[in-house]
Amino acid sequence: MLLARLIPRPASIPTLLKMSINNGQKAKITAASIAATFKQDLVENIVPSVSKQIARKPKLLGILANADEPSRLYAESTKKACEEIGVEFVFKTVGSNKAEEKAQPSDVEQAVLEANMDDTVDGIMIYYPIFSQAEDSYLQQTVSPIKDVEGLHFFFRFNLYHNIRYISPQSLLSGSSPALSSSPTLAAEEEESSGKVKAILPCTPLALVKVMESIGVYNQVLPYGQRAFGKTICVINRSEVVGRPLAALLANDGARVFSIDVTGIVEYTRRAPSSQDSTMPAWHPRHITKQSSLSLKECLGLSDVVISGVPSEKYKIETSDLKDGVIAVNFSSAKNFQPDIRDKASIYLPSIGKITVAILQRNLLRLVVYRNRLQDDKQN
C-alpha cells in the first residue's frame, strides 16, 4: 500500500551507524545519511506513483514575505531538494522583501487564500517569522489542512497534543478534530483498514523523532506508541513550532521529557488511558505536564538524549553536565554544544536540516494521496 510506504521502515538505520555500534566505537552520523533513506524511497517509489495518480508532478508553493536571509536560503535549499526527487517547487515572493518595505499581513493572507483555491497547488508553506507571533499564528490557520505540509494548523496541532494519530480524510476538509474516541488504542493496521490515514505532523519535531528511531533511541521491540519507554530526554526549546510539540510527541511515545526554556522546566510524561464507562468514550492516552523542581544541570545529568535548539551563538551547554555516552542533537542554526561534545557523546548530530526537508516532502506526498482519495470518493 502506498500510504504504508510513506515512512521508511525502522530497519533503514544507516550502515555506518550499525557498524560503529557493533564495533563498540562512537557512531559518526550525519543528517544526510538519515535523510538518504527517505530520499531513496521518495525517488524510487513514492514520487513516481503519486505523479502517475495525478498525471503531473506534485507541486509545493513556498511563500516568502520577509527580508530574512536564513528564510531565503532555506527556500532555495528546499527548491533544490524538491527538484532532485521530481517535485515542482514554486517560490512566491510577497512584498518587496526590503526591510523598509515589509509586506502586510493582508498580502500574505491573500497569497495563501489564492493557493488554497488553486487545484494545481498540492502543498503550501510559509517562511516564518514574518510579523508578530499573533499575526503569524493567524496566518498558520489560513492554510487549508489539506495543503498544510508544515502541520501548523490547529487541526493538526490538536491531534498531536491529544495523541490522535489517525484521522478520516474527510476531516481534512472540515478541519474538525475529534477530542474523544471510542477506540483510542487501536493498532496501526486496524486504523488503516478502517479507512483512516495518518495525521500530518510538524516537520522539525517529526524529523527529530525520526532521528530517535534511526539511531536506536526508540526500541522497536516495544509496541508502537510506547517505543521511547525508559528513555529520559531533555529538550532545550519550548517554542510552539518545535520544542513543545516535540516534547509531546516523545512523551506520547513513553519517554520522560524535560522541556527547558527561559520560563523554567516542565516535565512531560505519558498518562494512562482514562477509565471507560458506558456513557463516555475514552480520551486517547496522551502526555501530561508538571513543573519540575530539578535544575538544568540535574536534568542534563539524568538525560540519555539532549536535544537543543536555542537560536543564539552565546548559548552553550556545559559538556561536563552531560551523562557519559549521551546522544546530543542540535537543531538550531546556532551551535549550542561546546566543541568537546564529541569527547562525551556516543552520538552527536550537529544539524537536522536535510531530514526536516525530507519530512516536508513526505508530508506533501501524503496530502496529495489524501486529496486524490477524497476526489475519488466524491466521484464514486
Question: Hey, what's the cell of 245?
Answer: 510539540
C-beta neighbour count of 148 within 10 angstroms: 26
**Concatenated DSSP letters of 316-380:** -B-GGGSPTT-EEEE-SSS--B-TTHHHH-SEEE---HHHHHHHHHHHHHHHHHHHHHHHHHHH-
Question: Where in the sequence numbering do the catalytic residues fall?
Answer: 203
Q: How far apart are the first and last CA of the chain?
A: 21
CB within 8 A of 279, min separation 6: which ones? none
Place of cell 538525560: 303
Rounded to whole angstroms, the Cα distance separating 82 from 111 reads 21
Among 115, 17, 118, 15, which residue's Cα sits nearest to residue 63?
A: 115
